[in-house]
Each structure stands twice: as C-alpha cells, then as structure tokens.
Amino acid sequence: MNRWLWNMLVLVAVLSVGIGLLGEGFAQVLPPEIPREKTLIIQYLFSPSPVPGNWNLWAGWRAQNGGLHQFVTEALWTLNPNVVEGGILNGLAAEPPIYNEDFTELTIKLREGIYWSDGIQFTASDLAFTILAIRDTPGLEFHGLLQDVTEVLTPDDFTVVVKLKKPNSRFHTYFVERWNAIRPMPKHIFEKAEDIVSFPFHPPVSLGPYVYVDHDPAGYWVLWRKRDDWQRTVAGKLFGEPKPEYVLFINYGPPEKQVMAMLRHELDVCQGTAEQMITLLERSNTTRSYRKTWPYIDPRDISTRGPGFNCLMFPYNIKDVRWALALAINIDEVLIASYNGMAAVTFALPLVVSPTFYEWYFKPLRPWLEELTLDLGNGQTFKPWDPEVPFRMLEWAKKQGYEVNIDPSDEDAVRLALGYGWWKYAPEAAEALLKKHGFSRGSDGKWRLPDGSPWKITILSGPDPTDMGYITSLAVIEQWKKFGIDVELFPTAAFATLSLNGEFQVMSTSHGGWAGEPWGLHPDLYRCFNALRSDFVRPVGEATLGWAGRWSNSRIDQIVAELEATPWENEQRIIELGLEGLKITIEEMIAIPLMNCPIAIVFDEYYWTNFPSPENDYARCDVFTTWPEFKYVLHHPEPVKR
C-alpha cells in the first residue's frame, strides 16, 4: 500500500474515533468486571467466525484460532513452540508413537492425570471414540484419511492400539499438531449428540488451560478465563501456570482500526502488514516487534509465499515458461514493494527459512544450486542461482537510514534473517526460454503466445488486501508487466473453490494443500511431496485430491513411496529423500516461492512484557496470534505493574 495513503487512513481513523475517546479508560473494550491488567488481548485473525457459537471444529472451519484450537483442544503430539530447542513435544501422548514392524499397527500411550474442564478425566476411550467417529462419519475433518483404520482397541485406560489395512509409517502424523490435527473429542459429550456433524458443542468443554466465558454473536471476539484447575492440563504439567487471568481474541476491523486500538492500549498483539508495523513502532513508545531494529519481523514462519501455476493449463504446463516467468522477476524490487525489504527469501516450495532447514537442506543444496544450468536453446546455457539477495537487502536498508544490527560478515545470521538467496533477474535469459518455444514480441513490445495471440495472465487471489498472497501478487504483477505481459489480479471470495477445481492460470498462494507447509522442526517432507502424488491430480473443473497446482512427476511418486516405508526416526534417510525431491521440484520450477511467510507482528508492552525477541527467543512470534501452541507460551508474559 502507498505509504502516504496508509498515513491518511490512520489519520481518518483517529478523527473518526474522536479525541475524547483517547482520553477515556483503556479498558473500555472489556466488561467492567474483567480487569484489563489481568487480560491479554490478541488480534483475532481470520475472523469473523463463520458460525459464532458453534465450537465443533471436528466438523469444519470455525475460525478456531480465536482460542478454540489453543484452549479447547489438545493434541497427542505438538511442535515445540521454542524453535531454538526444536523437536516435537508429547502432549496427550505420554511418549512417541510405537509401530509394529510392518507399520500396520500403532500403539499410543496416553498421559495420565489430564482432565476436561467439567471434571471428567481424559482417557483412552475419548481417543478411541474420536478415531472411530471420524472414520464412520462423512463430513468430519480427516474422514478420508482414517478409512484405512480397521480396528481401535483400548487394552487399558491409557493405551490405544490402532490397526490399519496397509502399512503407513506416517499415520501418527495425522495427530501431530502443527496447524490442524486430529484432536480427541470429549466422548461423554459427543456420544450423546444425535448428529455429530451438526452438533454445536456449546458451551465448549476444554482440555487446555482456559475455559470459555463469552463470545460476540457476530463472531468478532471471544473471551476466555484461566481454569481453576490449570494444573490438570498438559500445558500446566509441562510449563506451569499461565500468567494472564483472561485472554480476549478480538477483531477491531480494518488495519487502521487495529492500529488505533493498539495506540489506545486496547490490543496487546497485532499481526498484519508492514505499514501497520512501521506505523505502530513510530507512533508509540510502548510498542516493539521481534527485533528492535530493521528488519523488525520474525522471519521463521513454517510456510512459504509466492505464486503458483496451473500445470495442466497451457502454457504453464511447460517448464521453460515457468522458469522464464521466474527470471523475469527482480526479487529485490518485490521484497521492497511488498514488505519494505523485511522478508526472508526462499526459492523452493517447502524450503522454509529456519535454523533447522538451513542445516538440513539449504547447506547441502548450495553446491548443486551453484551448478544448476538451464538450456536456453541455440547452444546457450545459463546458471540462474543468485546467493547475494539477502546481502543486497541489508545494504539497501542501511542506505534508507534504518538502524541495522546484523553483521554482514556473519553469513549465517544474514541468511537466517533475510533468506537463503533467489534467482538472478535475467530478462534476456527469460526471453530466450520463451522464444525457444515459439513465443514472440509484437511491435508494441508485448509478448504473444506461439499462435500469435496476446499473452494475458490472470492471477487468482483471495479478497483481503492485507493478505500476504494478495500483497506479493501485486508486486509480481508489476514485474511481469515490465517484462511485456498483460497481467491482472482477480481477487475473489471464491478463491478456495476455484483453486481446488483448477479454474485459474496462476494463483497467489502456491503453499496451500501442505505443498509448502513442512513440519519445520522435523526434516520429514512427506506431507509436502505427498500432496504432489500423480494419483491425486484431477482434471480442470474437478476438485483435486492433492495440490491445486496439479503438477505431478513419477519420480516424486517414488520418493513418496520410499518415505512411507522409512521410519520417522531415520532422519538421515528422510533428509536424503527430501534433498532428492527438492532438486526435482526446483528443476521443474513447479511454483515461484518468493519468501517465507513474513511475521509482521507488534507487541504493546503497556500492560504485558516479556514477549519473544532474539535475546529471549522462546517462541516464534506468530504463536501469539493464531497457532495452537499459544497455550504452551502463556507462562512467559509478565504483567506490567501500573
């Protein structure tokens, strides 16, 4: 967004609320009986809830990041929110999964002493009931994935044995919490429901450390209170008592209203655009982000962002065309236009920027990337790898007058903050690749398809102008227009349906369908490559079973099959297969990842302090907004005594 326009929007918001409002009590957003100084107020992203008052997330999307998947549910295993420590935590499970020799039987040992908030103990019967209910009930989440379950046994109150039709060494990962997993239902409640799919589960009974208090009938806020018996939850046993007495998730409306709410100290955590972040950091002396200096963002989200192709549609079914469109992008200009340079570049779909992936995958890939060569035709070749992008961004920021505390001589620090590198800006090489396939330029300099008709690209996007896919698509559009292609953005609320059905040329978010969403703290890329399976691809117009981009390759199918037969603990072999798969998807340029999802987050330390920072790096910052692991970090915030 134009910075002048953004400042005007903020000014209008200030005038609209009135000067008098700023002089009123900061706690006006809360009911009078709820003390502001004991309440942590979080931005409610992805709201309003589509069905306010319905908490049955087993039956579909409920805007569950408003406390539902943070507080009501608990998973068997969960990614450690502390990315420095890494690993996967045992949640409701007492230990890691136990398979038999041929992976047709999974034994789960459960943690004892965990209670639902209504006083009923969590036992094996809850988990067994959930697995069978999901398997037997069309319309529930994960229904298709559980069709291989033949039997579920409960030899005692804290052991569950799941028997499968065929070997599956990754079956347990359906129960691992990243974002979305199979979480146990309270059997004593759901077994009484006439129809589990339509059952509203209101008021919800919690396994986590907070209980439901109230919600907005329109779906814009939800209020939660700390359980009196928080010691009988997984979070309580692992980490101790959560500090806030209350947690409020609230959506104040457009970005400028979120800014005003934080300036009034009515919002403690705000995640949004680069403009929001910079405005809040400039206009308040109690705000900060992850870093105190540029780049302020936390770069370590575990998903990528960038456009993806419909690989069943001409001309995007041609590898050289996909490469040409990548080489026509000046990544420096994209980073500056979209996030003021504050993003970590990455070049491969599931290759997120993190200390673990840096060691597991980027470092082993570097020699191969340096030798990667494209055939431009007519005996010409080209090496596209450009490792200098993050260092150029660092210099750009200094020239803009930003304070930067990253040592340019510390390569690891630079790459972990600003990314691995990207592809060279090479419009001449892009032109050669296109001409190799019969493309040509008209007298107006615009590109023509091989049949002589004008080349026009439409990028499908969601409607939210603050969404990362929307923002990065606008920057890419300018690059491709500069190269001589007519490009337009098609934002629509039907984005999910159209992309699932393949009714697009280029989509704004290639990471979806798990293709660009790895575990992050475990090297297994099975969930990413599995989305690319050939047997999942469906024709345009039909809902696909895998990745919306509809690219497939028999070599990836072989890697998926090998991963299925590789134990989860065999990290060395998993990494070898991951590297092999990455090389294939990179060579094929199946999509154009641009960057790690930038966590543009601001914390207001007027009421609460001790949020994550590089010096106090106990969690990724977005755990404080949307991620289920939120319940595992609430022992960290400290109240500010006022």
Name 613's Cβ contacts closer than 8 Å, sequence gap at least 6. Answer: 288, 290, 291, 292
User: Are 264 and 339 found together in one domain?
Assistant: no
Name 202's Cβ contacts closer than 8 Å, sequence gap at least 6. Answer: 53, 54, 55
CATH number at residue 635: 3.40.190.10
User: Are 391 and 498 found together in one domain?
Assistant: yes
User: Are 613 and 575 found together in one domain?
Assistant: no
User: Are 590 and 603 found together in one domain?
Assistant: no
Q: How many CB atoms lie within 10 A of CB 153?
A: 13
Q: Is residue 219 part of a domain?
A: no
Q: Is residue 542 part of a domain?
A: yes
| Cβ 544 vs Cβ 550: under 8 Å | yes
Q: Is residue 206 part of a domain?
A: no
Q: Write the DSSP assignment of 14-32 as a string of letters.
A: HHHH-HHHHTS-GGGGS-T
What's residue 624's pLDDT? 94
Q: Is residue 465 part of a domain?
A: yes
What's residue 27's pLDDT? 43
Q: Is residue 197 part of a domain?
A: no
User: Are 427 and 440 found together in one domain?
Assistant: yes
- Please write the tens of the pLDDT for every residue from 101-148: 999 999 999 999 999 999 999 999 999 999 999 999 988 888 888 989
| Cβ 599 vs Cβ 43: under 8 Å | no
Domain termination site, one of 171, 190, 209 = 190
User: Are 45 and 91 found together in one domain?
Assistant: no
User: Are 241 and 108 found together in one domain?
Assistant: no
What's residue 28's pLDDT? 55
**Phi, psi for residue 154 in degrees, rounded to 5:** -130, 85
Domain termination site, one of 148, 175, 190 = 190
Q: Is residue 251 part of a domain?
A: yes
Radius of gyration of the chain (CA): 25
User: Are 410 and 523 found together in one domain?
Assistant: yes
User: Are 379 and 454 found together in one domain?
Assistant: yes
CATH number at residue 329: 3.10.105.10
User: Are 558 and 422 found together in one domain?
Assistant: yes
Q: Is residue 211 part of a domain?
A: no
Q: How far is CA 431 from CA 279, 307, 426, 442, in A?
A: 40, 20, 9, 13
- Plot region of 341 (φ>0 → left; ψ -120 to 50 → alpha; else → beta): left
| Cβ 397 vs Cβ 390: under 8 Å | no
Q: Is residue 151 part of a domain?
A: yes
What's residue 18's pLDDT? 37
User: Are 279 and 141 found together in one domain?
Assistant: no
Identify the segments of the chain with pLDDT beneath 70: 1-28
Domain count, the chain: 3
CATH number at residue 125: 3.90.76.10
User: Are 51 and 149 found together in one domain?
Assistant: no
Domain that holds residue 108: 77-190
